[in-house]
Amino acid sequence: MRPVLIALVCGLVFALGLGLSGMVNPARVLGFLDLTGDWEPNLMFVLGGAVGVYALGARHVLAWPRPWDGLTFQLPSRRSLDHRLLLGAAMFGAGWGLSGLCPGPALVDLAGGGADIWLFVAAMLGGMALFSAFNRVMPAR
Amino acid sequence: MQLLPLLAALAGGLLIGAAALGLLALSGRVAGVSGIVGGLIPPRRGDIDWRLAYLAGLLLGGVLLHLAYGLPTSIPGSRITLIVSGLLVGFGTRLGNGCTSGHGVCGLGRGSPRSFAAVLTFMAVAFITVFVSRHILGGAP
């Protein structure tokens, strides 16, 4: 039960942070991404605050022998750059720039009930399913 | 540029970072939304509950935000653009192993070189995408 409760609370607080920061509003995100328009610096503050807290905290936490409720820290093990990473990031950047929506805010925005948001999330889950199919045919080396 | 939205952005960012740090410290997991959701497509036995709980936390947060402030319900631009955007975000984040939360917050916070490369890539492509769609094609408002 504990892992479920932890995940629920962390997801909830994460969503509230997205709300407070303005990330749930795609228009604000596009305002940040529009460098040559009426640029909004908001996202710099969101990312700065989030990365700052995480970086300070993670240094201490990762020195622990194990997480509070778990046997090991489950961190990505790959270190080197590869085509998948860069191509995937480029595809994500293009998709993000087209709508101003990335996965976290899009899922939070489902609660608003807008048909556009639900359509985006359906397409996003479809994209993830397409990737799973692709990855079965061409698994990462 | 107003002060209050910037302070809210910073406070929201701190909350996002704290929530992601909480998941690392308590469960030892990376709080990457695309990875958490993508891990359910397809679902794997014994690795479902916490992912669904995190998703439920995001949605619950969305409901609270919607009751308190109202969430955006429509996205400017055509439905086709929205579908393409969702597909790119879904496929791209899985291929590139992360999105704004996994690479942007957790990866940068841990000083991961792969995440630095991914964030630079998706930011650059998102800037270009918005520039082209807003200022060259003039499609999005």
Helix intervals (H) in A22-140:
26-33, 42-61, 83-99, 103-109, 115-137
A 88-107: CB under 8 A from B:
88-104, 106-107
Q: Per the CB < 8 Å rule, is A76 touching B27?
A: no
pLDDT for B140 equals: 47
Question: Residue-wise over A69-89: b if at least 16 C-beta within 10 A, else e?
Answer: ebeebeebeeeeeeebbbebb
The ipTM, to two decimals, is 0.96
Q: pTM, whole model, 2 decimals?
A: 0.95
pLDDT for B1 equals: 54
Mean pLDDT along residues A69-81: 92
**A38-49, pLDDT tens digit by residue?**
899 999 999 999
pLDDT for A38 equals: 87
pLDDT for B3 equals: 84
Q: Per the CB < 8 Å rule, is B97 touching A84?
A: yes
Of A56, A39, A104, the C-alpha closest to B12 is A104
Give residue for tokens 């969702």.
Answer: B86
